[in-house]
Amino acid sequence: MSEPITFHDRVAIVTGAGGGLGRAYALELARRGAQVLVNDVRGASAVAAEITDAGGQAVASVHSVTTEEGGRAIVEDALQAFGAVDVLINNAGIVRDRTLANLSTEDLQAVLDVHLGGSFHVTQPAFRVMKARGYGRLLFVTSASGLFGNFGQANYAAAKMGLVGLAMSAAIEGARYGIHSNALAPLAHTPMTAGLFDGAIDGFDPEYVVPMALYLVSERCRLTHEIFSAGGGRFARVLVGVTNGWVAAESPSPEDVHEHLGEIRDETELALPASLAEEIELARSLV
């Protein structure tokens, strides 16, 4: 058995921590020694009190992640209370499920504002603090809806896949400063998922997701620029890869593409570029 993973002398921000998965992350971080900034527009004070009543260290922040000012205030609250920011779990989220044909601009924007905009608004000031300190752990809570799509969740899926791009770019930019950034797609029964998926994840307790999340934001974890899935006791890596494909002669036509779909889609040799630059280099090496 390896040494316990602890967060003593580490300061963690968890957004959307007033309930569900965010609360579970915050409670376990505190139990393992972290000083926790519990952020949510509802329920943050109760969770912070739950932590302090158990002997942990926590403060509540009720600023909204949906504005630049709110994101900056959340980070400033952590700095005021604890003097640092070492860990950020971007967990805040909402759903406004509609089929694509019935999705309003308002419902699209509301979801983007919380998930994608909110994560950016908190990450940017936190990243600056981490950069100055030479250490940081960022975790972006994505979703299988974003990675693979889901009926009636075009807005949610778009926001969640956007988080993957944000997480991967943060990993690339943070590498030289000791900042690691990963994405996690949880499968869990929470108030936000209640009534969804025909009960398929009703037995998937949030506690089954917590170990993966905490490992990824721990000092022990050396991984960055990766995506993981966790739920119901199963932990897995999600891959974004590219096939070697087919190399065309000069002036290929749409008909040529059709004729070579087998080669284009052949997964026998799959590459995992770590950046746009690596994808360009791969393409250049094959042509």
Burial of residue 237 (CB within 10 Å: 0-12, 13-18, 19+) is exposed
- Cα separation of 88 and 181, whole Å? 10
pLDDT in tens, 113-125: 999 999 999 999 9
User: pLDDT tens digits, residue range 126-161?
Assistant: 999 999 999 999 999 999 999 999 999 999 999 999
Exactly one of 156, 177, 208, 215 is catalytic; which is it?
Answer: 156
How does DSSP classify residue 98?
Answer: B
Q: Looking at residue 67, what is its pLDDT?
A: 98
Tokens of 149: 């799509």
Q: Residue 194 corresponds to which tokens in the numbers above?
A: 């209640």
All domains of the chain in start order, with CATH: 11-238 (3.40.50.720), 242-286 (no CATH)
Could you tell me the mean pLDDT of each successive run of 10 residues in the chain, 287 residues long?
A: 93 97 97 98 98 98 98 98 98 96 98 98 98 98 96 97 98 98 88 55 79 98 98 94 93 95 96 93 89
Integer-rounded Cα radius of gyration of the chain: 20
Query: What pLDDT does 276 receive?
Result: 93
Residue 188 has a pLDDT of 81
State whether residue 185 is helix, strand or coil: strand
Tokens of residue 168, six digits: 């991967």
Q: State whether residue 201 is helix, strand or coil.
A: coil
| Helix 68-82 × helix 118-133 angle, to 10° | 40
CA-CA distance, 3 to 129, in Å (whole number)?
28
Phi, psi of 13 (to 5 degrees): -110, 130
Nearest to 187 by CA among 144, 148, 150: 144
Q: How far, in Å, CA of 188 to CA of 209, rounded? A: 7
Measured distance CA(133)–CA(90) in Å, rounded: 20
Q: Do the beta carbons of residue 78 and residue 62 sit within 8 Å?
A: no
Q: What is the pLDDT of residue 201?
A: 60
CA-CA distances (angstroms) from residue 155 to 105, 113, 145, 196? 9, 11, 10, 16
The pLDDT, as a whole number, for residue 132 is 98
What is the model's pLDDT at position 205?
79
Instruction: For residues 108 and 94, give the distance between their C-alpha atoms in angstroms, rounded to a whole number.
Output: 11
Q: Which pLDDT value is given to residue 206?
A: 84
Residue 25: active-site member: no
Q: How far is CA 237 from CA 32, 147, 184, 225, 227, in A?
A: 25, 12, 9, 11, 6
- Report helix, strand or coil for 220: coil
- Strand-pairing partners, residue 229, are 185, 236
Answer for the pair 74, 63: CB distance below 8 angstroms, yes or no: yes
**Is residue 182 classed as helix, strand or coil in its secondary structure?**
strand
Any idea what DSSP says for residue 88?
E
Structure tokens at 202: 């009703």
Distance, CA of 184 to CA of 206 (rounded, Å): 13
Residue 180 CA to residue 173 CA, distance in Å, equals 9
pLDDT at 204: 67
